[in-house]
């Protein structure tokens, strides 16, 4: 258990290198590969260090293959670091002690623990038995969490009959039944529609407020991060390139909003350029990047000056923000992590 005031998650020079078999294409290469394998060392995570205090909600951003999931797997004890070490809730994860496993949970948006052909309640009963939860605690926790997740009337339906959003909520319920102190969430809103995303975010915020649980989450949706996390870690090609306040990150790198307009007939690019940077313009649909301070005025001008059929405003895609951070970090990598930590 972590001492009072001590970080609940601590990564110190965390490094993971995978040995991957290499096979060039072609018949001869296949034959050679059959008799003699050649391996290449792929660095997935390199010298990543950070600490997270109890109760913090931290976003973990990076492109596909940047090393987010590998880091989460090291922090949950599924992967053994090649170098460096990590401590979660005062314990070394890879020892996988009962106390450690009872203190954490890992929810992966693309994997499910629910038994597909049975009602979610059966998985909950299974987890209650596995974690040694008493009948009274089981009942009160299921009532509380299913209420928060608005899932009470869905628990007795077979999982396969639930919508994607309901399944994710049930996954969260199953993963949180044992009352973990540390939640590792890997793309928890992956593939969900907007309403389901909003519901999951609202639940996570309330759960954090009620229990004081620490949350480290990855997401491809900027809205997840902006709604929940005050601090973000950005990882690129296995290296931590930003650790700091989300607001500071957005001020520096991601202030622009994306304006999507659908027009009744085509207009010139030149006309669109007077409103903002044209990100794309295909047929009657255009995407513009607009500074937040100018957003209201630009929307007004667009409605007045363009033949608008539909207009929506979005957060910048997470890749764009990450891309800007990476662009910056590649120019001044040694300073970015330290500078932002102090921000």
Partner 1 sequence: MNAALRKMGGLLSVYYAYMTAYRAELILWALANSLPFILMGAWYQAAAGGAFGFTPVDVTRYFLAVFVIRQLTVVWVIWEFDQDVQRGRLSQYLLQPVDPVWRYLAAHLSERVARLPFSALIIALFFLIFPPARFVPHASDVLLAITFATLAFALRFVMQYTLALFALWTERASSLESLMFILYLVLSGAIAPLEVFPPELRELVMWTPFPYFIWVPARLLIGGADVDLMRATVVCVSWIGSLLVVNRVVWRLGLKRHSSMGA
Binding site residues, partner 1, CB under 8 A: 18-19, 73, 76-80, 82, 94, 96, 98, 101-102, 104-106, 111, 113, 115, 117-118, 122-123, 125-132
User: Closer to partner 1 at the Cβ: 82 or 341?
Assistant: 82
> Minimum CB separation from partner 1 for residue 81, in Å?
9
User: Closer to partner 1 at the Cβ: 76 or 226?
Assistant: 76
Strands (E), the chain: 9-22, 38-52, 57-61, 83-88, 104-108, 182-186, 214-218, 231-236, 239-245, 257-263, 277-282, 285-290, 308-314
> Minimum CB separation from partner 1 for residue 73, in Å?
6
CA distance 210 to 23: 51
> Minimum CB separation from partner 1 for residue 17, in Å?
9
Count CA within 13 A, CB hemisphere, residue 326.
16
**Tokens 């630009």 — which residue?**
298
> Minimum CB separation from partner 1 for residue 55, in Å?
22
User: Closer to partner 1 at the Cβ: 126 or 339?
Assistant: 126
Burial of 198 (0-12, 13-18, 19+ CB in 10 A): middle
User: Closer to partner 1 at the Cβ: 115 or 289?
Assistant: 115
> Minimum CB separation from partner 1 for residue 230, in Å?
27
Q: Is 289 within 8 Å of 313 (Cβ atoms)?
A: no
Output the CA torsion sign for 181, 183, 189, 194.
Answer: positive
User: Closer to partner 1 at the Cβ: 118 or 295?
Assistant: 118
User: Closer to partner 1 at the Cβ: 213 or 302?
Assistant: 213
Q: Within 10 Å of residue 194's Cβ, how many Cβ atoms?
A: 11
> Minimum CB separation from partner 1 for residue 131, in Å?
7
């Amino acid at each position: 258990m972590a001492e009072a005031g001590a970080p609940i998650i601590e990564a110190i020079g965390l490094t993971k290198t995978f040995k991957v078999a290499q096979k060039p294409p072609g018949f001869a290469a296949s034959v050679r590969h059959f008799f003699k394998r050649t391996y290449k060392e792929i660095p997935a995570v390199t010298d990543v260090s950070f600490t997270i205090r109890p109760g913090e909600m931290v976003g973990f951003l990076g492109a596909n293959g940047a090393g987010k999931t590998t880091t989460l797997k090291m922090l949950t004890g599924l992967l053994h670091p090649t170098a460096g070490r990590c401590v979660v809730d005062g314990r070394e994860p890879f020892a996988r002690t009962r106390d450690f496993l009872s203190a954490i949970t890992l929810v992966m948006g693309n994997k499910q623990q629910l038994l597909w052909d049975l009602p979610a309640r059966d998985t909950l009963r299974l987890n209650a038995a596995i974690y040694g939860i008493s009948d009274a605690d089981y009942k009160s926790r299921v009532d509380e969490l299913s209420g928060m997740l608005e899932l009470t009337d869905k628990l007795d339906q077979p999982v396969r009959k639930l919508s994607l959003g309901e399944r994710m909520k049930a996954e969260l319920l199953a993963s949180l039944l044992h009352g973990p102190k540390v939640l590792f969430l890997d793309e928890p809103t992956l593939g969900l529609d907007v309403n389901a995303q909003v519901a999951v975010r609202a639940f996570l915020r309330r759960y954090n407020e009620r229990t004081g649980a620490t949350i480290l989450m990855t997401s491809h949706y900027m809205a997840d991060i902006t709604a929940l996390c005050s601090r973000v870690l950005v990882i690129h090609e296995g290296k931590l390139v930003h650790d700091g306040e989300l607001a500071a990150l957005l001020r520096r790198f991601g202030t622009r909003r994306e304006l999507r307009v659908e027009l009744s007939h085509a207009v010139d690019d030149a006309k669109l350029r007077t409103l903002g940077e044209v990100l794309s313009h295909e047929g009657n649909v255009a995407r513009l990047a607009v500074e937040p301070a100018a957003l209201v005025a630009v929307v007004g001008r667009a409605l007045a000056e363009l033949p608008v059929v539909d207009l929506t405003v979005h957060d910048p895609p997470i890749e764009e923000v990450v891309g800007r951070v990476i662009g910056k970090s590649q120019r001044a990598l040694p300073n970015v992590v330290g500078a932002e930590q102090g921000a």
